[in-house]
Chains A and B, each alone.
Chain A
Amino acid sequence: MSKAAASMTWRKKDDIASRPWTGRKREYDLFKELTVGVIVMGLLTIGLAVGFGSPDESSVTLKAWAVAAPADFVATAAAELGGSSDTAGYGAPYNTTADASQTIGPIDLQSLSGVQIPINTAVDLVTAPLSVQSNPPSELAQWNNASPDQQAAWATAYSDALTAAYPPDTRAGEANFDATKVAAGDYGPVPALATGLLTMAQTGALDGAIQNEGGFFNLDYTKSILFLGDGTYFVGLADAAHLTGDQWGMMNETGNFPGQSWLWLFSFWYQVPGVGDASNADILVVGIMLVLTVLLAIVPFIPGLRTLPRWIPLHKLVWKDYYSKR
């Protein structure tokens, strides 16, 4: 057994695997093989491209969201104002929310980067866009002059009332937003700001307003994408297309296309109870995949794993021609 195990080692020894081959040879034309390979793969590529094409589902705009699911849009705008959205409580690299990082024990890599992409959801996603309009809502001044506690109290109360009138599970399917369905209460300027943002979004002006916060030339779509993701409409579209994490969505794409099937193992860990549903699932999965990738790279150094090809002799099929002529 020790002799067999030694022959599977990566080390250079005085054996056949380590010495230049001195036995029989066969003709081999490297360039000819490359040429044939390029022709065959080219025909396959073009054939598949012509036969199946590629997916191109149009991107979702804030306008499309506001038109299709206004109640969800208003509820999300209120959450951005009150600091209760996912983005508002995300932590690094967007803001300084305490205890928001994903950690493994004492390891907190997320916080190490600090706030590199600062996002104030109330300002960046609601009040700043509203203020660039030719006729900004007069309630903006009331909001800006209120204390943070007062702002939070208004927004939280309105969000609670919206949740009662339009439950989160169904609000993405509501094609209309009826402000009178929301119970009366002390919401300050929040309803006017949220519905004002809805009107602005439905005209298409909000898409440009948020994007232009980065200046005329802006390739950073972080704010718009985070805003979309804070609502339920965008997630609902992804769910319908089987793209969410619990649907192995990491390796899927829209339409009937193979997607990133090579991410199957990455996606697999999100389905494992205790990992995929953990509050620190992402750093757990990334950590597991990093360890597995390193293990794959160092397989030649791992006894047992490197000997498996001898124990399960698939190599007999690969080299059956050689073995049959020994």
Chain B
Amino acid sequence: MTTTLEPETANKAVAANAVVAPEELHTWTGKTRQWLIKVLPSDKLLPEGQPSYVASWIYVFGMGAIASLVYIIISGVILSLNGPAWYHVSAFGHFVNSTHLWSVELFFITMVVHLWGKYWMAAWRGGRVLTWITGVVSFAVSIVAAFTGYLLQTNFDSQWIAFEAKDALNAVGIGAWFNVANLGQIFMWHIVLLPLAVAVIVALHVVLIRVHGVVPPIDAGQTDAQLTETTGARTQGVAR
């Protein structure tokens, strides 16, 4: 059976539904969607503007680390698809191995500058502590991931690193499962588990940045001129 409503009544009903809709969500999926939209609306996820204080070279290093990670993954996929010994016998393989090495070096350089920059900016302020912690964890996990890469070179370096590093891992009781002289185990750690961990933590880190926004200057005051609406040449607008 259908009911016909007068246009004005129908509009009121639609409006009423729009208002009460959030309260009517009772599925896990609906509640999760509602929470996600509240925490990270699209204009925060993909913003077209940033606060006026986001104007320094220090801000490019985080993006530089992510860009380096792109090349680490691309070159790593090519190397792993061809096997760990391929680059010894292929000129192209050696080039890909070189890009893998240098993208890792650039990744760490940019990451360390980013990390120190965020420390001196006290970037954990205003409820951003998880952003800081995920950044430190991604740095630590990246170090382990890089270490396993050095073990996979299948050359003198990897032989020696395996011999030297076993003592630290055995001393803490994990050497049997993280056996640096077992190529099969290390391959699993290096191309699956650790990259997955880095990717997930970095993704979480980036999402947290978008959720909380970029931390303002330490000495920003309530009366700063840039807190008031102006129409300067670089001004895009004022947030609601």
Contact = CB atoms under 8 A, between A and B. Distances in A.
Given A8-B122, A30-B46, A102-B171, A45 B102 contact: yes
B213 interface: yes
Interface string A17-55: 111111111111111011001101110111011101111
A103 to B, nearest CB: 9
B220 to A, nearest CB: 5
Contacts of A33: 60, 63
Contacts of B67: 34, 37-38, 40-42
B189 interface: no
Given A12-B126, A26-B236, A40-B67, A55 B150 contact: no
A326 B226 contact: yes
A282 interface: yes
B88 A56 contact: yes
B99 A299 contact: no
Interface residues of A, number: 110
Q: How large is the interface on B (under 10, 10 to 19, 20 to 34, 35 or more residues)?
A: 35 or more
B48 interface: yes
Contacts of A245: 164
Nearest to B110: A41
B218 A109 contact: no
Interface string A108-124: 01111100110000000
A107 to B, nearest CB: 10
Given A20-B213, A117-B176, A25 B50 contact: yes
Contacts of A93: 170, 175-176
A116 B102 contact: no
Contact of A318 (B56, B103, B221): B56
Contacts of B128: 10, 17
19 contacts: A10-B127, A21-B213, A23-B229, A24-B228, A26-B55, A28-B54, A30-B47, A37-B67, A41-B64, A49-B102, A52-B102, A55-B155, A56-B88, A222-B182, A237-B160, A244-B164, A250-B164, A282-B167, A321-B55
Q: Which 3 A-B pairs have the closest CB atoms?
A: A17-B126, A116-B176, A12-B127
Interface of A: 7-13, 15-31, 33-34, 37-38, 40-42, 44-46, 48-50, 52-60, 90, 92-93, 101-102, 109-113, 116-117, 219-222, 225-226, 228-229, 234, 237-238, 241, 243-245, 249-250, 253-254, 257-258, 260-263, 280, 282-283, 285-286, 293, 296-301, 306, 309-310, 312-315, 318-323, 325-326
